[in-house]
Amino acid sequence: MIEILYSVWIFSVTVVVAIGVAMHLRVSVSRCMALFMWHTAFCLAYYQYCQDTCDTLFYYEAGLAGDNIFAVGTSFIVWFTEMLVKWLGFSYFDTFILFNLFGFFGVLLLDASLNQILHATKYSQSIYVWIPFLPGLNYWSSALGKDGIAFTSATLAIYGSMDIQKRKIFLASSLFFMFLVRPHTALMMAVAAAIAAFAGSKQPLSTRLIVIASATLFVVIATPFVLEYIGRGHGITNADDAIDAIEESQGYNLEGGGGVDISRLSLPGQLFTYLFRPLFIDAPGMTGTIASIENVVLLIVFFMSLPPLYKLLRSDRSFFCVFNFSYFLIGWILAAMITANLGISNRQKWMILPAFLIISVFATVAQRGRTRATEGGRARLDSPPR
């Protein structure tokens, strides 16, 4: 009985925190609660599924065993779980509740970013307002593990990029949190930020220099840790070693229904596989069928957004546009080259998909609704990008 009351108390605290963050981001309480309950439903489904064998069980049992050290990646999740278990007496279910909140922050940030683009236009009630309700987005960000924190880090970067002059701390925070769980992705994010600061326009010279210097410093400091992190078992010390590691990783995780031999695919085939498979004929079970439906939606959105996105990128070199496109493209190419399991790709692609979705929505609205971004990130009525 005490355990149940404790879990109810933890859940109540997460609800209050979620509402507080929503109010700060100017997301209405009613919409926040609708998103939160939707996200929590996926958390409960994930928890029910992971009763026998799952990564989440490994995290909890390793944390329960104790004697874990602070390090990045999986080690951080295990170390943090140990703190929750030993210091706060969290049960397996309680850890899900807390990590559900971490992932939900990402949903709120994505919703707030979409609001800034849509609210000032007649498209504020369009189909785009349903993007934060996408099943895969909510399912994979709702459980104990790295995915919720990685997703929130990605949306934190998006939110910061919409007004980089005033929100540098958001971008810096996104790099920090992403580095804790997926350091190689944080490195890609830093490179994208440097590209955006260097190639982007409309930014004061001081802002561009601060971002470039900070991103460069992060890359210099983080690279040795990243090489050590991804090079365990590979001995990566140079570019040739990295290429060998990529080729070797293409043969990993081929067992089971989600395995795909991407070494036999061309780069376009690998890119398509990473973002849009399974597609019914190669869908493993009911979850694969649900993923296939969502992938069809993403496929339609992708091809519909290509023409307006092309026009936008030719005319708009704001930090927001350049950063999100660069981050998505770099992450997509690298991840597609090394991920040989559809289950893993469907889970991890939500680190990069938010960047594509936000810039695609912006490009489409700019094309149809005659809006353009100011450097402050607010959409205003204007002529479409030329």
Paired strand residues for 372 = 380
**30-39, 174-183, 255-264, 339-348 — which is least confidently predicted?**
255-264
**85-94, 129-138, 212-221, 302-311 — which is least confidently predicted?**
212-221
pLDDT value at residue 18: 97
3-state DSSP assignment of residue 298: helix
pLDDT value at residue 1: 75
pLDDT value at residue 101: 98
DSSP string, 66-110: --PPP-STHHHHHHHHHHHHHHH---HHHHHHHHHHHHHHHHHHH
At 251, the pLDDT band (50, 70, 90 cuts) reads very low
Instruction: Give pLDDT tens digits for 133-169.
Output: 999 999 999 999 999 999 999 999 999 999 988 898 9
pLDDT value at residue 371: 43
314 vs 263, residue with greater confidence: 314
Residues 175 and 211: beta-carbon distance below 8 Å: no
- How far CA 24 is from CA of 32, 104, 121, 184, 271, in Å, comes to 12, 14, 22, 30, 37
**Residue 258 clears pLDDT 70, i.e. is over it:** no
User: What does the block give as tokens for 105?
Assistant: 């922050």
Q: Which helix (H) or strand (E) holds 373?
A: strand 371-373
Q: From CA 25, how far away is CA 325, in angstroms rounded? A: 23
Tell which residue, 364, 372, 348, 362, has the closest CA to residue 300: 364
Q: From CA 158, how far away is CA 162, in angstroms rounded? A: 7
**Residue 245 clears pLDDT 50, i.e. is over it:** no
**129-133, 192-196, 245-249 — which is least confidently predicted?**
245-249
pLDDT value at residue 96: 97
275 vs 338, residue with greater confidence: 275
75 vs 214, residue with greater confidence: 75
At 341, the pLDDT band (50, 70, 90 cuts) reads confident
At 376, the pLDDT band (50, 70, 90 cuts) reads very low
3-state DSSP assignment of residue 231: coil
**Residue 233 clears pLDDT 50, i.e. is over it:** no
pLDDT value at residue 215: 82
**Residue 247 clears pLDDT 50, i.e. is over it:** no
Report, as an integer, the average pLDDT of 56-60.
Answer: 93
Give the number of other Cβ atoms within 10 Å of residue 140's Cβ: 22
Report, as an integer, the average pLDDT of 251-260.
Answer: 49
Mean pLDDT of the chain: 83
Q: Whole-prediction pTM value?
A: 0.87
**Residue 7 clears pLDDT 70, i.e. is over it:** yes
pLDDT value at residue 262: 65
Report, as an integer, the average pLDDT of 325-333.
Answer: 93
If 0-12 CB within 10 Å is exposed, 13-18 middle and 19+ buried, where does residue 66 land? exposed
Q: From CA 26, how far away is CA 30, in angstroms rounded? A: 12
227 vs 335, residue with greater confidence: 335
**112-116, 348-352, 372-376 — which is least confidently predicted?**
372-376
- % of the chain at pLDDT higher than 70: 82
**Exposed e or buried b for every residue in 311-336, given b needs 16+ CB within 10 A?**
bbeeebebbbbbbbbbbbbbbbebbb
Terminal-residue alpha carbon distance, the chain: 64
Report, as an integer, the average pLDDT of 186-194.
Answer: 92
Tell which residue, 192, 285, 252, 179, has the closest CA to residue 222: 179
**Residue 214 clears pLDDT 70, i.e. is over it:** yes
Instruction: Give pLDDT tens digits for 279-302.
Output: 887 776 777 788 889 999 999 989
Q: Which helix (H) or strand (E) holds 381?
A: strand 379-381
386 vs 297, residue with greater confidence: 297
